């Protein structure tokens, strides 16, 4: 049976691990949310399943804790990855001057250090016209922490499957979808299949346009066109379509949205019903939105620059 004294609403405790004696307020808010958004029959179904199969809430809590720890380790490994490439200006052709100037130069002064962090990876993949540079970055980016994170993924998949089985679901996907409007994996699969069929013609047309742009570009540089749109080509030629067909130049648009405007209360936080404070820290602006209501629930720091987390803390 489910452990007392949580027998009234066991699944709420299982999901959030709240102990009423310590987190009375948090649990009351959680319980109100569950009862408002989910039918009581859904909670009762979970309670009956656990009771019939003599499953303790501690078993589920232990699994959830392991899943959480593994997920944190997975993300930490990615954030602490130090892989980088050294490229010359010729290998970075197509990238704007301000981006290249922001890169760290190595001692010889002819090469620039490019990491796999988002602020380096995405601009390069969208604007660098050198295919070999994009290929190196794409392969390395998708191979980050391959060894250590593969082991973590194997454990995560096993734990998620075990959790779903204990709660009476065929898979982790069924467990997650049971709390949503879709309810079943078959519903999602049918929706995606139908959407794929409707968008297939449009996708083929866009692919043909990107292949045409690639053919013309390689012809100008005297390179051989292989007739394939590789993974490292997608972002670059999608950006070229924006430029050639719609005349969208993000470098020009950027001057109308400086950092202080993009991160102002009116633009960034206009959809949230809270008041926020901002302050200067280090050499750049870091905005700290703070809930000023009577019961302060949380505080979040929004950094306008994509940096390593340890660096952003000033460590």
Residue 3's domain comprises 1-54
271 assigned to some structural domain: yes
> Comparing C-alpha atoms, which of 156, 161, 179, 184 is closest to residue 46?
179
Q: Are residues 205 and 246 both part of a single domain? A: yes
DSSP E strands in 18-140: the ranges are 84-88, 104-105, 111-115
276 assigned to some structural domain: yes
61 assigned to some structural domain: no
Reported as half-sphere exposure (CB side, CA atoms, 13 A), residue 69 has a value of 8
Query: How big, in percent rounded to 5, are the helix, strand and coil portions of the chain?
Result: 60, 10, 35
Cα–chain-centroid distance for residue 301? 17
Q: Which of 144, 175, 194 is the last residue of a domain?
A: 144
The whole model's pTM is what?
A: 0.69
121 assigned to some structural domain: yes
| pLDDT values of the chain reduced to their tens digit, one per residue, 315 residues | 344 334 444 444 444 444 444 444 455 555 555 555 555 445 555 555 555 455 667 888 899 999 999 999 999 999 999 999 999 999 999 999 989 999 999 877 789 999 999 999 999 999 999 999 999 999 999 999 999 999 999 999 999 999 999 888 999 999 999 888 898 999 999 999 999 999 999 999 999 999 999 999 999 989 999 999 999 999 999 999 999 988 887 777 877 877 666 665 554 444 544 444 444 444 444 444 444 444 555 555 555 555 554 444 443
149 assigned to some structural domain: no
158 assigned to some structural domain: no
31 assigned to some structural domain: yes
Domains in the chain, number: 4
CA gap 264, 260 in Å, rounded: 6
Sheet of 277-281, strands arranged across: 277-281, 284-288, 302-303
| Burial letters 168-192, b for 16+ CB under 10 A, else e | bbeebbbbebbeeebeeeeeeeeee
Q: Are residues 233 and 264 both part of a single domain? A: no
Q: Are residues 250 and 189 both part of a single domain? A: yes
Q: Are residues 228 and 278 both part of a single domain? A: no
Whether the ω angle into residue 5 lies within 30 degrees of 0, i.e. cis, is yes
164 assigned to some structural domain: no
């Amino acid at each position: 049976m489910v452990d007392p004294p949580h027998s009234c609403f066991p699944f709420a405790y299982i999901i959030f691990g709240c102990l009423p004696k310590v987190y009375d307020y948090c649990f009351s808010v959680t319980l109100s949310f569950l009862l408002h958004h989910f039918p009581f029959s859904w909670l009762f179904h979970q309670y009956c399943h656990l009771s019939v199969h003599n499953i303790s809430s501690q078993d589920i809590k232990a699994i959830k804790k392991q899943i959480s720890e593994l997920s944190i380790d997975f993300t930490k490994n990615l954030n602490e990855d130090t892989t980088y490439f050294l490229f010359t200006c010729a290998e970075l052709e197509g990238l704007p001057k301000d981006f290249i100037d922001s890169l760290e130069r190595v001692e010889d002064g002819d090469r620039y250090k490019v990491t796999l962090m988002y602020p380096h990876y995405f601009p390069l993949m969208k604007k660098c016209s050198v295919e070999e540079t994009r290929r190196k970055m794409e392969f390395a980016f998708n191979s980050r922490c391959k060894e250590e994170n593969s082991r973590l993924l194997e454990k995560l998949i096993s734990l998620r499957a075990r959790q779903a089985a204990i709660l009476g679901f065929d898979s982790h996907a069924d467990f997650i979808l049971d709390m949503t409007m879709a309810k079943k994996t078959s519903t999602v699969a049918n929706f995606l299949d139908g959407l794929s069929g409707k968008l297939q013609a449009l996708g083929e047309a866009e692919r043909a346009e990107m292949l045409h742009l690639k053919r013309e570009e390689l012809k100008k540089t005297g390179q051989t066109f292989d007739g394939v749109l590789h993974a490292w080509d997608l972002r670059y030629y999608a950006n070229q379509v924006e430029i050639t067909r719609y005349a969208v130049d993000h470098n020009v648009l950027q001057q109308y949205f400086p950092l202080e405007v993009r991160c102002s209360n009116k633009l960034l936080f206009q959809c949230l019903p809270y008041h926020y404070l901002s302050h200067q820290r280090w050499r750049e602006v870091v905005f700290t939105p703070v809930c000023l209501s009577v019961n302060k629930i949380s505080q979040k720091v929004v950094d306008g620059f994509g940096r390593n987390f340890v660096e952003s803390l000033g460590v």
